[in-house]
Structure 1
Amino acid sequence: MVMQRLPHSLHCLSWCWAMRLRAVVLARRFAARGGMWLALGLAMLSGCASPYRSDQGALFGGLLGAGTGALVGSAVGNAGAGAAIGAGVGAISGAAIGSELDEIEARNRAEIAQHLGRPVPAQPVAVDDIIAMSKAGVDENLIVNHIRAHGAAAPPSASDLILLQREGVSARVVAAMQEPPAPRAAVPVYGVPVYASPPVYAQPVYVQENYYGPHWRPYRCGPPCRPGVSWGVSVSGH
């Protein structure tokens, strides 16, 4: 079986975070001066050293995509929209790269398990595990990569170091066991967005009072009076 080695980027965690912060600052400076390609290169150098594979792939891709999108958006006058689009695309591509690195690390553990004759869990490595790997003939590069990928279960004491040397463990593996644990960067968790419904306003009710007077009727005249002749008898005495 051909041994699959982890990328060299997994070996330099401390340098990774220092360079990442420095690259972000430099990228902003060069982006402001129009150095788009140089800023993009610095962002790529700072992102590819992430040792956390799929856990950090989406985070690194989102940061890289946001930076690249902001640069492109600045060129067209909308850096905010460019950063948002770039972050989404970068997160997807970063997760895919991280998954590939996870597969490589899984194959490495499978090769170690073949030498040991038992499964190798993806967890911090103990001193007894290192001694067993060394005696089983596992390549020291594979042991070192396994330690750096999962860390040591506990910092080795003076008696542990003496025991490792006595059991024939290589100096490079012993040095890897003494490296400080890698700081785990928090992976952002995005919840489901909650959209508030628009407020509902009740329609106002207006009460209108109308005054109605007596009903008016047009005045109707009676029939016109016609001239008439009357007869009468009067008696007078002289």
Structure 2
Amino acid sequence: MKSILLGTAALALTAGVALADTVRLGTEGAYPPYNFINDKGEVDGFERELGDELCKRAELTCEWVTNDWDSIIPNLTSGNYDAIIAGMSITEEREEVVDFTQGYTPPSPSAYAAMSSDVDLTGGIIAAQTATIQANHVVDTGATLVEYPTPDETIAAVKSGEADAVLADKDYLEPEVEASDLVFVGDDVPLGGGIGMAFRESDDELRGKFDAAITSMKEDGSLNELITKWEVGGTW
């Protein structure tokens, strides 16, 4: 898996910090407004700004690495980077493989979007990104699931008629609906336990540093400011 290093994120390590190496933050770079690649070829979005601030508060030197979503956890556990910060919902299934910080966003709803309001959400063909909580939910509803590697491809599948609807984070779908003929269909679907950073189970010390930094941002209100700025869901 090729990785793209996209610059340092924060202050240099001080002498008192036990972790000597640069911390590599893995993200997808394809899920706005959480993370995306800007016109300069750099990781941008809510999680870029959040991750940089967390590294600063934790007194860690960080750099960004991009990785396809479907292999983002395996490449964390194999050591290609040290943490995932990629719009990843905290679930019991994922916690069997990785350890999460506390959530840095509250649980936010998923939603269906389609080209018309009369689609069959339980008997039709529903697109979702591979290895997501939305894909698992579609299977549970009895609908026919079609999975795609990237969120953009799920939208394209609906527009081309390959799928009747897409299920994804409502935060992601809202700008797509506003900019196209897509419409929201049915009720919002509450899934997951909020979004957090993921770490190898052996990296408790590193996870603890980021967890403390998230706590400090909640306490001083700066995390809510970022959430509001990037419109990524409810505040704390």
TM-score, normalised relative to structure 1: 0.25
Q: Which has the higher contact order (CA 8 A, sep 6+)?
A: 2
Counting strand residues as a fraction of each chain, which structure ranks higher?
Answer: 2
Higher helix share: 1
Normalised by the length of structure 2, the TM-score is: 0.25
Larger radius of gyration: 1
